Structure 1
């Protein structure tokens, strides 16, 4: 009976995505947390009038992440697209491996895992430390106050992913400006298509250069795979595009938003600033990932078969949205989830997703966050906001949550 009621076209269904509460920029939207408490699997209404299922409980989310009866392919009918531009883009272009199901997803993912192994990433720590110190040196020598996004949060992960891929850092302003279009929900189809086309052309040119003069970097490896027939040039360019965008956009937002969260929790900041224990610093990063969950509009899926979850039946062809923020703020999993606590064991959070599609670059993101949080507050112990919290522009309009600017002083 409940399923029948849930399936009716109810104009009172909550709109998704949902707004955050004024003055509570780090908390998930209150309506989403209400549904988590009262209706953990419920219908929501999207921009196009479709009514996919919102699954908010931690255990249900982890189970669905590993369920092969759910597809990530956005070309399938019923997939819950986040905007018209995304829908049109997916319908016209081959998907990236993030939007492929196994076995094709596994085939391509295997080709790009080597540079992101924990051992390879850990070997980059001295270089990431030098980059971080250089950016902080430049910041301290320049104007005060400064926008931390432009001074550190954005350029650091951009430089790091350029090193991994083998892309000239001198081009970072170009690809940053184009990548920003790709994570805006309100971008028009024309804007999204133009930005993607320009970036794909750029990466195809980079691949051509790597074929002529290979180096020890990821694009050179992708170029070699195109020569061997393992990948088409388009597939290789799409992989480069995905890694270039995801490699700097999400981490940049975690750096800036995490710094702001620490500034709003001075006792937790002090614990991070004063420690010489790398385990505490690593733990603090996991807690911040749980606390913020910057991919804040949920992972999207569509059911291939009927699935029972949380006492509901998701029918074949129906969309599913999995908002990791609600699972990461579940009191039964993380007591007092609204409290930022760097001593909490938050290792089972789902900020990177879960299952076969969990974030490939998570070891690199962890390394960068550990270095930044462990260095910035130690080197600039008087760091503070240079404006009121209410005046900081938050990225409510994006797929990835963060701040557009973070004015700081010291």
Structure 2
């Protein structure tokens, strides 16, 4: 039996697996085994998404990286064959467009407005403040009864406090924006739920932009408000951009802190190596390895072909959706020897956890510094840190567009 893909191409149904694919039981840190099979045997192949569409999935590192920087590949989410991650993601992208799902020149114009705040120089200047946030939260944790949920006590507050300070968002509102963010990053969220959460966040950011117009401060929302005042942005565009930065600024790093800690606790030899090192470069390399090994943006980078592209003997036709599977790409043995082994001594800076090309993650310098401070501090401050429950009792975010854990009970 055949089916017709979104682009009008007839595809044998029996050969098209559903995507995303399940991870193997007992292997929460590894990509799905079916992805490994595709990488080895059919690295350019079709998969079936939630809406029945059958975009191409690209599974090898070399191809993922090449296509992420190919101008014939579009990030434009309004394209009719854009491979949305879920009904909720489609609703959110329709309701609140931001530069990450736009092409140049509009992408570049909007992104340039906030690039300076995430420059390496600016982020490094924040390192002492980030260090204080981390130390203060550890002090509070150590004073609390055990066990402690590392997610709520530490992993979520660290990046939330940092991004709030950078943007000029009151941290006292964290329960509100974290709750709505959680709704938006779940694949099981309905379009109605996504619409409501998006509207609440956009309205909230719009009010803050209004406050910054009246009372500007030294923060990024004030910078965006200045762009509104100068006629370079509408208030809706500024609010959309603020929402993007607020969600991305805490969700991804929070999941990396918790999941990275769990991975290290399950690999005690690697945790010992990291804890014993006093070399900041060694800590930075460990951060890169954990980013590669875990690749928490585990649903692939979503794109649409603007022209016919031939790759490995397969033609991706103009108008067809493409999923660039950076999680299995980061486990490609052709790019990373012994790729399924966590090795904090390797320096895999060429990984694609942050994407690649013009759309690579704007906030990666900030995420790197936050993770360097966390991974370089937490395990030294609490050298006897350990899990308080068995691994099979830890709830993983299999239903999330960003992978991680919902809770991480720890003790010491």
TM range (shorter): over 0.9
Tell me the residue number matched to 2:355. 353
Query: How many residues are treated as equivalent by the alignment?
Result: 405
Q: What's the RMSD between the two structures over aligned residues?
A: 1.2
Cα shift at 1:12: 4.0
Q: Equivalent residue of 2:269, what SS?
A: helix
Aligned residue among 28, 31, 37 for 2:31? 28
Cα distance between partner residues in 2 of 1:382 and 1:192: 41
Cα distance between partner residues in 1 of 2:192 and 2:301: 24
Tell me the residue number matched to 2:131. 129
Tell me the residue number matched to 2:76. 73
1:386 maps onto 2:406 in alignment: no
Aligned residue among 369, 372, 376 for 2:371? 369
Cα shift at 1:77: 1.6
Tell me the residue number matched to 2:157. 155
Aligned residue among 236, 239, 243 for 2:238? 236
Q: For 1:239-254, what aligned pairs fall within 5 Å after superposition?
A: 239-254=241-256
Cα shift at 1:94: 5.1
* Uncovered stretches (5+) of structure 2, i.e. residues with no partner: none
Cα distance between partner residues in 2 of 1:385 and 1:96: 39
Cα distance between partner residues in 1 of 2:103 and 2:280: 37
Out of 68-77 and 396-405, give the one that drifted further: 68-77
Cα distance between partner residues in 2 of 1:96 and 1:339: 36
Q: Equivalent residue of 1:313, what SS?
A: strand
Cα shift at 1:323: 1.1
Alignment check: 8 A CA contact 1:74 1:90 kept: yes
Tell me the residue number matched to 1:16. 19
Q: For 1:248-397, what aligned pairs fall within 5 Å after superposition?
A: 248-397=250-399
Cα distance between partner residues in 2 of 1:234 and 1:183: 21
Cα shift at 1:215: 0.6
Aligned residue among 104, 107, 123 for 1:105? 107
Tell me the residue number matched to 2:192. 190
Cα shift at 1:87: 2.4
TM-score, structure 2 normalization: 0.97
Cα shift at 1:47: 1.1
Alignment check: 8 A CA contact 1:307 1:314 kept: yes
Alignment check: 8 A CA contact 2:395 2:406 kept: yes
Q: Write the deviation string for residues 293-312 of structure 1: whole angstroms up to 9, x where unpaired.
A: 00000000011111112221
Q: For 1:38-57, what aligned pairs fall within 5 Å after superposition?
A: 38-57=41-60
Cα distance between partner residues in 2 of 1:90 and 1:165: 22
Q: Write the deviation string for residues 327-373 of structure 1: whole angstroms up to 9, x where unpaired.
A: 11011111111111111120100000000000000000000100111
Cα distance between partner residues in 1 of 2:62 and 2:38: 15
Tell me the residue number matched to 1:173. 175
Q: Write the deviation string for residues 55-76 of structure 1: whole angstroms up to 9, x where unpaired.
A: 0111111110011111111111
Alignment check: 8 A CA contact 2:186 2:400 kept: yes
Out of 136-145 and 305-314, give the one that drifted further: 305-314
Tell me the residue number matched to 1:58. 61
1:84 maps onto 2:104 in alignment: no
